A and B are shown apart, each in its own frame.
Chain A
Amino acid sequence: MKKLFLALVLLAGTLCTRAQKFYTKNGNISFNSKTNIENIAASSNQVTAIIVPATGDIQFSVLVNTFHFEKALMEEHFNETYMESSKYPKASFKGKIDDISKVNFTKDGAYAVTVTGDMTMHNVTKKTTTPGTVTIKAGKISATAQFIVKLADYKIDVPKVVRNNISETVTIKVACSFDQKM
């Protein structure tokens, strides 16, 4: 009788941990614009990201002014003239892992998934689908993705004089380890 009770309690416990949320506040997002003349790269280690294994919900948010560049002037221009970070301080992605059932959260491995959701930056929201990878290692969840964004899609206009220095498309890389529980 006691065993039955314990088993039921454990079952209740496991069912409910599946609905747990995992998050991080120091995920990484980096991007790269490559032209024949100049490479422009920046990265932020202050990405907030949250994942709900039970539902496949996944969301990211980053303050635009936390991106650091090698050249100080690039950073100033990025904030001042391109992203207008004082007006639009955050960039975010809110979506779902479409094929969350593929991921076995109890078994180590790298699972290829597809993520669909709304990406918002520079006050423009666009529906985006991108392939990504969810990695489980010793119970820890991490996620990576790489995708390409067209600057024009987010109304980030590049003046003619620097059009040769800044690529029309930017490659964005996301890497987050969801090391905190909620």
Chain B
Amino acid sequence: MHIQKILFLTAVLFSFGCRAAAQDTTGTDLLADLEKETAGKEAEATKYATATFKTTRLISGHSSENVAKGVMDVKIAHRFGTLNKGGYELFGLDNATMRMGIDYGITKYLMVGIGRSTYQKTYDAFFKIKLLRQSTGRRNMPISLSYVPTIALKTLKDANPEQNNYFTSRLYYTHQLIIARKFSDNLSLQLMPTFVHRNLVALASEPNDILAIGIGGRQKLTRRLSLNAEYYYLLPGSKLNGTTNSLSIGFDIETGGHVFQLHFTNSQGMNERTFISETTGKWEKGDILFGFNISRVFTIGKNR
């Protein structure tokens, strides 16, 4: 071997081996290079839509949100009297009905709640089960889907104590699906097909089963304030006498661990069966009630 050959070979080696190094030091965005280098080698992550709504209630009814696992959410809701009562009753503020309740997240996908409303002295309990979660990426799902079965027990004394009253006559069942989509950071909409069953109705001509379709949504106005609306349309033929569709408009105000919801509605009740199937107020006649929900969360268990 000639010494020139060896020197030539080494020179080639040097130039090959070190050219890459010289390039590396000049490139400032090493992370982008790394990204390129490792792209495709790792599975794409699934990105789930989060914070579709600020809290588990849109206004009177459920939103698509659950409380997180191990979190207890204490909810206190008020509905005052109608605005058209005038100044003598301070536009309804002299009268109030309320619901006190506690929600709890058992898992990421399952929450339970109990509550008691002064309206007809009603107890209610529900599950909320997340069936689908809106996501993009590896798993693509355009909507979130939840199922909310609710049972309510009216404990108001019987109207006719002399007749034979059954315990089951006090029970009401609601089944609700919530189909939600977060369209953007600010806009979320949901559809709520709902079925309400009552064991006892006032007149034989009234239906025991009521079908309604709800539509609702929120538009964020600032990072901590959103405008919400909720409407339940009773399907023809499934209406109790003298009832009308429920329409509510309100604001969510978020401050740390609290969410304040202030709203105007034509419904007095605060559990599904009352506001969906027993709303009697008419917006056009001024039967509008001012109300609020306060939510305060407490973390009891560990997150994840």
Chain A residues engaging chain B, CB cutoff 8 angstroms: 1, 4-5, 8-9, 12-13, 15-16, 18-21, 23, 25, 48, 50, 52, 54-55, 57, 59, 61, 68-73, 75-77, 79-81, 84, 86-87, 92, 94, 159, 161-162, 165, 182
Is there a chain A Cβ closer than 8 Å to B139's Cβ? Answer: no
The DSSP consensus for interface residues of chain B is mixed
Query: A21 touching B299 by the CB < 8 A rule?
Result: no
Query: A12 touching B3 by the CB < 8 A rule?
Result: no
Query: A50 touching B30 by the CB < 8 A rule?
Result: yes
Query: B223 touching A16 by the CB < 8 A rule?
Result: no
B residues in contact with A86, CB < 8 Å: 185
List 17 interface pairs A-B (beta carbons < 8 Å), by A numbering. Answer: A12-B10, A12-B18, A13-B17, A19-B18, A21-B24, A48-B34, A50-B31, A52-B25, A54-B24, A57-B28, A59-B31, A71-B71, A80-B51, A92-B31, A94-B31, A162-B255, A182-B37
Per-residue 0/1 for B16-42: is the Cβ within 8 Å of any A Cβ (1 yes, 0 no)?
A: 011011101100111100100110001
**C-alpha gap A9/B7 in the complex (Å):** 10
A residues in contact with B304, CB < 8 Å: 68
Number of chain B interface residues as a range: 35 or more
Other 10 A-B pairs with CB < 8 A, given A48-B34, A50-B30, A50-B31: A4-B6, A9-B10, A9-B13, A13-B17, A50-B34, A59-B31, A61-B31, A71-B299, A84-B223, A94-B29
Most chain A Cβ neighbours within 10 Å, of B9, B13, B20, B70:
B13
A residues in contact with B224, CB < 8 Å: 81, 159
Query: A5 touching B17 by the CB < 8 A rule?
Result: no
Query: A57 touching B25 by the CB < 8 A rule?
Result: yes
Q: Which residue from chain B places its CB closest to the CB of A56 in the assembled complex?
A: B25
B residues in contact with A72, CB < 8 Å: 67-71, 299, 303
Closest CB of chain B to A141's CB: distance in Å?
15
